[in-house]
Amino acid sequence: MHKAGIIGASGYTGYELIKILSKHLKVKLVVLNSKNYAGKKVKELYPDFDEDLEFTDYPIEEINDMNLDAVFLAVPHTTAMEIVPKLKCKIIDLSADYRFKNVKEYEKVYKVEHKDKDRKAIYGLPELFIEEIKKARIVANPGCYATGMILSAYPIQEIAEYIIYDCKSGWSGAGKSSVYARDSSIIKDNLIAYKLVNHRHKYEVEQFIKSKISFTPHVIDTFQGMMITAHALLKKKEDVEKIKEKYREFYKECKFTHIVDEIPDLHAIQGNNKCLIGGFEIDENNQLVIVTVLDNLLKGASGQAVQNMNIMLGFKEEEGL
């Protein structure tokens, strides 16, 4: 049995990791670090949890002495870069601290100095980098929007002049301390646009999608689930069936990303690790519309993190998922 730990276990993504790893047949969850809830049972914070695990607050030195196989960092941006250099095991970082190949780009986007400039991580999108993830010690788990945006457009980026992403996410993506978590009336029966331009995930995506892109996110009145509608202005006339076949071929070996004939919706992905890509219609203006859905807490965060751990430790990719 392999041993795993979570640092930052009490937030939404941390709790999703606890739920998955507590049922994982090849992993024993031994570290559930939370400074605010150490010593309390998980079910005190999340009453739907049906096991007797407690939050912990082990120092890094003690975690290293436990000889863990993998640690998940579900901590705020800028915190991971303080922890990663101290850990001796494999690491899956759910923050943005190691997502950028170019540290200067990270510093520009997040407006902070990176304190671990020389250490590199593998970008944890298995559909693109599974072979690199197998050999990695540190994996940077992608952002939720970035996951859907990259997967929705990667196969057609060479034929698209410009891609506009219209994205909508459940309010859990804003985190446990967000205004939506504190006051549900703000989002009830509502739809809220924010960061109309220059969202951080845009620059994360631009590392992999070479077409010009624009991106506007919205929060919708649901807890989890995300829809990415990609409007791709094509360079020339294309056959939509050939485009769909290109997608099917590109993702045919993928365990969780699937091409569908219909327009997918959130009910198909809430509570699981799937990414569904569908729609595929071209209008009279030579605009291709692709609709992609995933669960922002699972394929967009914790589920994908466990998927990465499985690959790193040599398990079946879908183990526990």
> Token pair of 15, please?
């709790």
Domain 145-294, second-level architecture: 2-Layer Sandwich (3.30)
Supply the pLDDT for residue 164. 97
Q: What is the pLDDT of residues 151-202, one digit of tens each?
A: 999 999 999 999 999 999 998 887 776 788 778 888 899 999 998 998 889 9
Taking each helix axis from N to C end, the angle separating 12-21 and 302-313, rounded to the nearest 10 degrees, works out to 40
Cα-based angle 73, 97, 32 (whole degrees, multiple of 5): 10
Are 69 and 311 a contacting pair, CB within 8 Å? no
Name the average pLDDT for the chain: 95
Supply the pLDDT for residue 213. 96
Please give the class, per CATH, of domain 2-141+301-313. Answer: alpha beta
User: Which positions of the chain have pLDDT values less than 50?
Assistant: none
- Say if residue 183 is exposed, middle or buried (CB neighbours under 10 Å; 0-12, 13-18, 19+): exposed
Supply the pLDDT for residue 140. 98
Are 274 and 292 a contacting pair, CB within 8 Å? no
Please, what's the largest Cα pairwise distance for the chain?
63
Q: Indicate where the chain has its CATH 3.40.50.720 domain(s).
A: 2-141+301-313
Q: Residues 144, 167, 254, 275: which is the catalytic one?
A: 144
Supply the pLDDT for residue 6. 98
Q: What is the pLDDT of residues 89-109, one digit of tens each?
A: 999 999 999 999 999 999 999
Give the DSSP per-residue string, 158-213. Answer: TTEEEEEEEEEEEGGGG-TTSHHHH-GGGTTT-EEE---S--HHHHHHTTT--SEE
Q: Indicate where the chain has its CATH 3.30.360.10 domain(s).
A: 145-294
User: Who's near 184: CB < 8 A, 6+ residues apart?
Assistant: none
Let me know if 144 is a catalytic residue: yes
Supply the pLDDT for residue 184. 83
Supply the pLDDT for residue 195. 86
Supply the pLDDT for residue 174. 76
> Token pair of 49, please?
């949890």
